[in-house]
Structure 1
Amino acid sequence: MAVLTDKVIFLTGGASGIGKACAEAYAKAGARVLVMDKEEVLLNQLLGRLGNEHAGVAGDVQKETDVRSAIEQTISRFGKIDVIHNNAGTAHPSKPLDQTTENEWDSLFSINLKSVYWTTRYGIEALKVTKGCILNTSSMVGTIGQENHAAYVATKGGMSALTKAMALDYAPFGIRVNAICPAGVWTPMLRQWAAQQPDPEGIERYLDHIHTLGYCPEGDVIADVAVFLVSEAARFVTGCIMPVSGGAELGYKK
């Protein structure tokens, strides 16, 4: 059963990694998807696989004009927006707080958190019409912390807290707001980082081991839960910070 039939989803950062898996899962579930991503080559490759009933916009979620244009193009193309999925993000750089430059700090917050401000500012009226929903890609590190990623952890802690505030603000309009929280997920960014470490095989074993279920997953496990959260099956779920983490936060494995 296509649980997202007739739904229109605006997805940021959807050309690779978790976003790509979500775009593919949304399309498979019957939705029409517009993906905004700054990586135009990867975006075009994705659209080639998804088909002509979907669309893409090359743009930077840090830029107000790019986000506003992408939202406008979504409404122009599809006539409405049912879901905004704020997935665009970065974990770079890997540093403690005192070694993080001001530009690095500002960049992380601009991409990971301020982008949600822009999509909400320009998309909320469309969601009021459809009584739609917002899904934010957060991270378990926003709850449990992570060494050498202070600014990134701060953005994800902020994302989870912001999700709850938005859920309260927009509930009177029938709009649900939830966050999905992975732990480790094999994305191109994570694979590149792992390959650059002194012991790549040891890193892979470590990433498997931190998940209580025993393995570091691909993006499809996140996408499957995302489909649920934006579907009518989750119609009474809002303000939820949903772990999809293989139990990594339980702390029994080191």
Structure 2
Amino acid sequence: MSNVVMITGASGGIGAGTARAVAAAGSPVLLVDHRADGIERLAAELRADGRQALAYPADVTNEAAVQGAVAAVVEEWGSIHALVNCAATMISRSLTETTLEDWTRVLGVNATGTFLTCKHVVRALVAQDTGGVILNVSSISGRVGLPNQPAYCASKGAVLQLSRQIAADYARHDIRCNVVSPGSVRTEQLRSYLAAQADPAAAERVLVDAHPLRRIADVAEISAVIVFLLSPQASFITGADVPVDGGYTAV
């Protein structure tokens, strides 16, 4: 795997894990995140390991910033082949306690950010006439309802349906678009969620017990599936939603 990949939400969690896995597979990577310090450190880490990596601080809800990121990929490496959308935010509140500001923020990052990055990367791929791959990270929250996550569930459902639409529209350009829907994963976001609970240990047990495999995933287990879906071995897979959820949505 040596194609150029743009990864959003790359400063931590699944985004950073995917960046490491994609770079290890031989692909140059553009790291996009609004947290500049995180992606600068990761880019330096990857370059020190002999990989090609460039950090591009950007807010995915800002269309001009997204256009700038795609232009930076093309300027640095001459083309782009793949996009991995990991940028996301979550606010845990009941429907009646969720404010309009909460809703707008979560939908803005998770749904609008995915729309904007897909829009401009697909535009570049069509112009190149080389085909390519879009991989959007959704969640079990896009498949089932979860307590106190109205905005997050809605946003991840939007990611899933947008991805299917892209797959249907752009297959004729040899552009594949797929979704990975993780269950609970040991990330900074999960740690923050557990820390905010009255009894973090009890809250973690609830999460563990909800997955038939009776554990929480490591980031590497998600990034391995993403790398496969980006690869030529997945060349006949498009419009798919791949649950990497320890069996959560099977029961």
1:43-90 deviations in whole A, cap 9, x for unaligned? Answer: 111112111621110110011111110110011001111001111011
1:63 lines up with 2:62 in the alignment? yes
C-alpha contact (below 8 Å) 1:19/1:88 kept by paired residues: yes
SS of the counterpart of 2:143?
helix
Aligned to 2:14: 18
1:127 lines up with 2:125 in the alignment? yes
C-alpha contact (below 8 Å) 1:127/1:133 kept by paired residues: no
Q: Please, which of 15, 36, 39 is the counterpart of residue 32 of structure 2? A: 36
How many angstroms apart in 2 are the aligned matches of 1:117 and 1:207?
Answer: 30
C-alpha contact (below 8 Å) 1:9/1:82 kept by paired residues: yes
How many angstroms apart in 1 are the aligned matches of 2:152 and 2:217?
Answer: 21
1:204 Cα deviation from its structure 2 partner: 2.1
1:64-118 deviations in whole A, cap 9, x for unaligned? Answer: 11111011001100111100111101112x1122221111111111100111221
The sequence identity of aligned pairs, in percent, is 35
Q: Which moved more, 1:16-25 or 1:40-49?
A: 40-49
C-alpha contact (below 8 Å) 2:27/2:52 kept by paired residues: no
Which letter maps to 1:205? R
SS of the counterpart of 1:35?
strand
SS of the counterpart of 1:178?
strand
Mapping for residues 203-222 of structure 1, pairs under 5 Å: 203-222=203-222
1:146 lines up with 2:146 in the alignment? yes
Which letter maps to 1:91? M
Aligned to 2:175: 175
1:113 lines up with 2:111 in the alignment? yes
Where structure 1 has 5 or more consecutive residues not aligned to the other structure, the ranges are none
C-alpha contact (below 8 Å) 1:136/1:159 kept by paired residues: yes
Q: Please, which of 6, 23, 44 is the counterpart of residue 27 of structure 1? A: 23
TM-score, normalised with respect to structure 1: 0.94
Aligned to 1:90: 89
1:80 lines up with 2:79 in the alignment? yes
1:126 Cα deviation from its structure 2 partner: 2.4
C-alpha contact (below 8 Å) 2:183/2:217 kept by paired residues: no
1:166 Cα deviation from its structure 2 partner: 0.8
1:163 lines up with 2:176 in the alignment? no
1:5-59 deviations in whole A, cap 9, x for unaligned? Answer: x210011101100101100100111111001001111111111211162111011
How many angstroms apart in 2 are the aligned matches of 1:45 and 1:203?
Answer: 32
Please give the root-mean-square deviation of Cα atoms over the aligned residues, in Å. Answer: 1.1
C-alpha contact (below 8 Å) 1:136/1:163 kept by paired residues: yes
How many angstroms apart in 2 are the aligned matches of 1:241 and 1:158?
Answer: 13
SS of the counterpart of 1:243?
strand
Which letter maps to 2:142? G
How many angstroms apart in 1 are the aligned matches of 2:196 and 2:109?
Answer: 24
SS of the counterpart of 1:95?
coil
1:245 lines up with 2:241 in the alignment? no
C-alpha contact (below 8 Å) 2:187/2:219 kept by paired residues: yes
Aligned residues: 246
Which letter maps to 2:174? G
